[in-house]
Amino acid sequence: MSTPFPNAPASSGAPVSATDYDGRPVLVEPETRRLDGAVREAHVPPFAPPVTHGSLADLPYDNAQAAPDAAVLSRKRPDGRWTDVTATRFAAEVQAVARGLIAEGLLPGDRIAVMARTTYEWTLLDFAAWAAGLVTVPVYPTSSVFQTRWILHDSGAVALITETAAQAAAIGPELARLPDVRHLWVMEKEHVARLADAGAQVPDGEVAVRRGMLGPDTLATLIYTSGTTGRPKGCALSHGNFFAEVDNAIELLHPVFKAQGEEPSVLLFLPMSHVFGRMVAIACVRARVRLGHAPSLAPDDLLPDLAAFRPTCLLTIPYMLEKIYNSARAKAEAGGRVAAFDRAATVAQRYGEALEARQTGTGSGPGRALKTQRTFYDPLVYRRIRTAMGGRVRYVICGGSPLGRRLAAFYAGAGIEIFEGYGLTETTGASTVTPPLKPRLGTVGWPMPGTRVRIAADGEILVAGDHVLRGYWDPQAGGVVPATLDGWLPTGDIGELDDEGYLTITGRKKELLITAGGKSVAPAPLENWLRQHPLISQVMLVGDGRPYVAALVTLDPDGITHWRQMIGKHPVPPELLASDEELTEVLQRAMDEANKLVSRPESIRRFTVLPVDFTEEAGHLTPSMKLRREQIMRDFSHEVESLYVR
């Protein structure tokens, strides 16, 4: 449905049913609005009614009452096995820790910071803090002392809980400059259990009183942005923001949260300090989907966790899916089966595209021959990839940056449905997501139910809805300052809406390169395409104010080691690879293929291979793997200059 572009204020609209009378999901297409012949706004009405009372703190108690024996979480034991945690037990643990926080003198509205990897204790502390009327402030465990001090100071946190004693020791000398911080607790020293013991004398009614003080408009958390373009800002998200996000996500992503027959489960391994991981954890508790936590992304740690937990759904970023694909291909090549793998990959991509065509009404779906080919390659290739992800994974929620049509089609053809999403910390997670019944590969889907997406005159994406934050934390201004204008949040991203309301992200507004010839270049599409190459780890385009576009390239260590073995060469130090002629030829072919996607003025004319990879520790990547472009430009200014010297 399309109507003229209005100047009406954003509104969520009345909820619609997301399922038919049998409980099966139905398709609710967005309403689109046009201006000058182009779609400039898309809106999907909410699937879930707004929450008018209560808070996230109530969820463990509601679960314990509604389904006391349901396994709402699983906790990893020291021997590597997983133990289910029932709704009753989790509510009791939340209650005990909440009483402990009250016993330690924390008052309603106090901020409590949590610095830890993705662990069971993180989720426990989140809900316990809310039950005690507190506001949680996540701190990335990889944050520097300076970053940690800034967040603690800016938020006015009165307590900090770290995962390790080393983290506590690092921040210890700064506490004299942080007079608000009165408590420092350490998970590995069993301080969470001690908190539970400390609250033994606090009446249960005190927790009930504090929970009763909370409502949808109460501040739930301050999540600080990763600061790709400046000092991090505290996004003030309310309990109602999370309800609007997770309730509509649960209804929309029916296969993930309400699958019939097989018990749905999610193994969370992305940082809970990031809004993406936090939102999914809350959604799992809300929907009583069994949730597990994996603290390490290292393959030697994560693969055994996947095999033991056996999730039905994962949430991840494109980087991880690219690594899984490239690793599978490298193993096939080492075993002399690369030609078969590539044929299987082509079949999977064609199969995924055929599925998409059938769902969108543009084709009849996979034909008999294609089905036969897919059946043949399933045990040889696809099943091995699914096994590496635990064996039961049917769905993946992917965000952070565009995955790309090729890989999305491959995974769909391999039997894993990808739900791509787009959102910000400011939007409590996703603002758009792939609709389960009508995916369009290469896009980030339709607006989430209850969300409006608008494209401004300069191409910037604007978002409105009940999941959008009310403002940024500003202690100098006395609390929260507005972040929206007439209900619309400027995202800083550039994108396009097609005729059916699907959103495609083309770049960041502040990252656009304008060459000396006046050509505007969005670096993200080429960077994302090249990053899928098995030898490439990261790519950053340069060329602002320069005569042409060039690229800084870092290498994938595993990919390079495998490639050199396959061509019969011994490993060499990274600094010698930049002058390797064979490697240069391989990378140049990749550049040539990427350049086919863009016009001549947007194409990459030169590139240089850096002797080191971009890392979070060096300040080149955010914890969510985004490039810190200004820092990279400073640290590699000499290499950038060399790209423009003939």
**pLDDT at 403 (0 to 100):** 80
For residue 519, what pLDDT is reported? 79
CB atoms within 10 A of CB 326: 19
More confident residue, 431 or 442: 431
Residue of 577, 585, 530, 586 lying closest to 557 (CA atoms): 577
C-beta of residue 492 within 8 angstroms of C-beta of residue 508: yes
Contacts 24+ apart (CB under 8 A), 524-527: 524/401, 524/402, 525/402, 525/597, 525/598, 526/551, 526/594, 526/595, 526/597, 526/598, 526/602, 526/604, 527/627
Q: What is the mean pLDDT of residues 522-535?
A: 89
Decide if pLDDT at 11 tops 50. Answer: no
pLDDT in tens, 547-591: 999 999 999 988 898 898 888 888 787 777 878 889 999 999 999
> Over the stretch 287-317, which tens digit does the pLDDT of each residue have?
999 999 999 988 889 989 999 999 999 988 8
Least confident interval from 57-61, 158-162, 414-418: 414-418
Band (226; pLDDT cuts 50, 70, 90):
low
CA–CA distance, 538 with 620 (Å, rounded to integer): 11
In this predicted structure, the answer to whether residue 518 has a pLDDT above a threshold of 70 is yes
Nearest-CA neighbor of 598 among 530, 517, 645, 532? 530
Average pLDDT over residues 437-464: 93
As a whole number of Å, the CA-based R_g of the chain is 25
Average pLDDT over residues 222-228: 77
Q: What is the pLDDT of residue 506?
A: 84
258 versus 496: which is more confidently predicted? Answer: 496
Least confident of 2-16, 432-446, 500-514, 568-582: 2-16
Q: What is the mean pLDDT of the chain?
A: 90
Q: Which position has the higher pLDDT, 23 or 372?
A: 372
User: What type of residue is 235?
Assistant: C
Q: How confident is the model at residue 8 (pLDDT cuts 50, 70, 90)?
A: very low
Residue 318 confidence (pLDDT) = 85
DSSP letter, residue 442:
T
pLDDT (0 to 100) of residue 13: 59
**Where are the alpha helices (H) located in 458-602, listed in sequence order?**
524-531, 557-566, 574-577, 581-595
- Proportion of the chain above pLDDT 70, given as a percent: 95
Q: Is the pLDDT of residue 22 over 80?
A: no
The stretches of 405-473 forming alpha helices (DSSP H) are 405-413
Mean pLDDT of 37-44: 95
**CB contact at 8 A, 339 and 329:** no
Comparing 262 with 531, which gets the higher pLDDT? 531
Q: Which residues contact 271 (CB under 8 A, 6 or more apart)?
A: 117, 118, 140, 141, 277, 623, 624
What pLDDT, on the 0 to 100 scale, is given for residue 442? 83
- Which of 482, 508, 480, 471 lies closest to 493, judged by CA? 508
Angle of the 581-595 helix axis to the 524-531 helix axis, nearest 10: 130
Q: Per-residue pLDDT averaged across 434-454, rounded?
A: 92
pLDDT in tens, 305-353: 999 999 999 988 888 898 889 889 999 998 999 999 999 999 999 999 9
Q: Which two tokens stand for residue 36?
A: 């000058």
**For residue 24, what pLDDT is reported?**
60
Task: Report the largest interatomic distance among the alpha carbons of the chain, rounded to a whole angstrom.
Answer: 76
**Residue 495 C-alpha from the chain's centroid:** 19
What pLDDT is recorded for position 144?
Answer: 85
Q: Residue 18 — pLDDT band, cuts 50, 70, 90?
A: low
Q: Which residues pair with 81 in a beta bridge?
A: none
| pLDDT tens string 387-421 | 999 999 999 998 877 787 889 999 999 999 999 99
Average pLDDT over residues 593-620: 90
224 in Cβ contact with 235 (< 8 Å): yes
**Cα dihedral 123, 124, 130, 135 sign:** negative
Residue 309 has a pLDDT of 95
pLDDT value of residue 405: 87
pLDDT at 487 over 80: yes
**Distance (Å, rounded) from C-alpha 85 to C-alpha 500?**
43
The pLDDT of residue 350 is 97
Q: Is 230 helix (H, G, I), strand (E, B) or coil?
A: coil
**What pLDDT was estimated at residue 62?**
98
Q: Say if CB 463 and CB 56 are below 8 A apart.
A: no
Q: Which position has the token pair 């060039």?
A: 550
Task: Measure the N-to-C terminal CA separation of the chain; round to a whole number of Å.
Answer: 55
* Across 274-291, average pLDDT: 96
Summarize pLDDT for 537-549 with one digit per residue, the tens: 999 999 988 899 9
- Across the range 27-36, mean pLDDT stands at 90
Higher pLDDT among residues 507 and 383, named by residue: 383
Decide: residue 55, CB within 10 A, 0-12 exposed, 13-18 middle, 19+ buried. buried
Residue 392 CA to residue 438 CA, distance in Å, equals: 23
How many residues does this entry show for the chain?
Answer: 646
Non-local (6+) Cβ contacts of 585 within 8 A are none
Quick check: 15 pLDDT over 90?
Answer: no
Instruction: Show the domains of the chain with their CATH numbers.
Output: 1-53+237-264+312-506 (2.30.38.10), 56-214+265-309 (3.40.50.12780), 512-642 (3.30.300.30)
Mean pLDDT (whole number) for 46-74: 97
Q: Are 32 and 500 in contact (CB under 8 A)?
A: yes
Give the long-range contacts of residues 418-425, CB within 8 A, separation 24 or more: 418/321, 419/253, 419/256, 419/395, 419/445, 420/444, 420/445, 421/397, 421/445, 422/493, 422/503, 422/505, 423/275, 423/276, 423/399, 424/275, 424/463, 424/489, 424/491, 425/223, 425/225, 425/235, 425/274, 425/275
pLDDT at 474 over 50: yes
What mean pLDDT comes out for the span 610-638?
A: 89
E strands along 174-284, which residues? Answer: 183-186, 219-224, 234-238, 265-268
Structure tokens that stand for 86 in this block = 């029932």
H/E stretch holding 32 reads strand 31-35
Give 419's contacts (C-beta < 8 A, 6+ positions apart): 253, 256, 395, 396, 397, 398, 433, 434, 436, 445
For residue 570, what pLDDT is reported? Answer: 81
Look at strands 479-482 and 471-474 and give their pairing.
Answer: antiparallel
Q: Which residues pair with 292 in a beta bridge?
A: 267
Q: What is the percentage of the chain residues whose pLDDT exceeds 90?
A: 69
